[in-house]
């Protein structure tokens, strides 16, 4: 091959390789710059949220966390932000703070916590916790803060997560266990029953009382309408959370199922998807 042609080919190859390297460097620099530009407003919003929380302004802190999740879903620590927002949302749900989802209600003769819970589609536990009530006694003329927006639940089996929602807003994400061999049913259900400290009626065996260390249901049970054998409950084995190991039910840590139990009323819609 002519030496001049060979030199030309080599020069062309060097030029192409050099161009590729430069382009790669430019892309890497641009990506790094984009990451830095993203992190600056995220860090600012995180600082704002922390300051608002320290000042006791939970609603403004919630707004800051909401902005991060809405505007920066690719933020590397987005799960930490989701956890912080979830804890904050639960605090707000149980707080006396007035929100778009709540009303102030003045008690009239004949009212009771049970009647108010049924009237407004909430739970007596939520009314009590939000108003600092130590008993079921309420008095005419007193004003209660009552949550009126319906809740709904979405369960994703492949990720073993439960989303507590109000409308389309995700309020908190819980880690759960679902059925082994993918046996947890998919579809739409409603919570038809709620039991504190449930007795476990094991197939073919004697009933196991709630206080027994053999009771697999944990501290709470929320049964589904279409098949009462399935539901959401607690567990004796928190180490199993995040796995597909149950007989078909959805299992949470006891502290999580107790929290959820106090929030969602009978009739709450539950959607389970693969």
How confident is the model at residue 74, as a pLDDT? 92
How confident is the model at residue 4, as a pLDDT? 56
pLDDT exceeds cutoff 70 at 18: no
Q: Residue 274: CB partners within 8 Å, gap ≥ 6?
A: 156, 157, 158, 182, 186
Instruction: For residues 70-85, give the mean pLDDT.
Output: 94
Distance, CA of 214 to CA of 10 (rounded, Å): 77
Sign, Cα dihedral of 106, 111, 117, 119: negative
How confident is the model at residue 3, as a pLDDT? 58
Banded model confidence at residue 30, pLDDT cuts 50, 70, 90: very low
What whole-number percentage of the chain has pLDDT above 70? 85
Are the C-beta atoms of residues 46 and 61 closer than 8 Å to each other? Answer: no
Q: What is the pLDDT of residues 98-151, one digit of tens each?
A: 999 999 999 999 999 999 999 999 999 999 999 999 999 999 999 999 999 999
Q: What is the pLDDT of residues 149-191, one digit of tens each?
A: 999 999 999 999 999 999 999 999 999 999 999 999 999 999 9
Instruction: Judge whether 233 counts as a catalytic residue.
Output: yes
* Active-site annotation holder among 24, 26, 229, 249: 249
Instruction: Judge whether 175 counts as a catalytic residue.
Output: no
How confident is the model at residue 203, as a pLDDT? 76
Domains of the chain: 3-93 (no CATH), 102-147 (3.10.350.10), 152-273 (2.40.440.10)
Banded model confidence at residue 6, pLDDT cuts 50, 70, 90: low
How confident is the model at residue 35, as a pLDDT? 44
* Active-site annotation holder among 175, 229, 233, 237: 233
What does pTM read for this prediction? 0.83
Structure-token pair, residue 82: 């989701």
């Amino acid at each position: 091959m002519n030496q001049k042609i060979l030199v030309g080919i080599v020069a062309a190859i060097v030029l192409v390789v050099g161009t590729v390297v430069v382009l790669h460097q430019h892309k890497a620099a641009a990506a790094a710059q984009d990451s830095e530009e993203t992190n600056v407003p995220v860090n600012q919003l995180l600082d704002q949220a922390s300051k608002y929380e320290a000042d006791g302004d939970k609603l403004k802190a919630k707004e800051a966390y909401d902005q991060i999740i809405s505007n920066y879903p690719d933020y590397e620590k987005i799960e930490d932000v989701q956890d912080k927002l979830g804890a904050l949302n639960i605090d707000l749900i149980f707080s006396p703070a007035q929100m778009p989802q709540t009303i102030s209600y003045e008690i009239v003769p004949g009212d009771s916590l049970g009647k108010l819970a049924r009237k407004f589609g909430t739970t007596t536990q939520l009314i009590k916790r939000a108003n600092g009530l130590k008993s079921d006694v309420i008095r005419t003329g007193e004003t209660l803060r009552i949550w009126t927006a319906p809740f709904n639940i979405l369960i994703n089996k492949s990720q073993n997560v439960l989303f507590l929602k109000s409308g389309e807003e995700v309020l908190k994400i819980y880690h759960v266990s679902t059925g082994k061999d993918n046996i947890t049913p998919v579809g739409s259900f409603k919570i038809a029953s709620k039991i504190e400290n449930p007795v476990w009626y094991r197939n073919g065996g004697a009933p196991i009382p709630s206080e027994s260390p053999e009771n697999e249901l944990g501290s709470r049970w929320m049964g589904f309408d279409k098949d009462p054998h399935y539901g959401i409950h607690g567990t004796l084995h928190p180490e199993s959370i995040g796995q597909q190991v149950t007989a078909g039910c959805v299992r949470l840590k006891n502290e999580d199922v107790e929290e959820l139990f106090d929030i969602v009323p009978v009739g709450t819609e539950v959607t389970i998807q693969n």
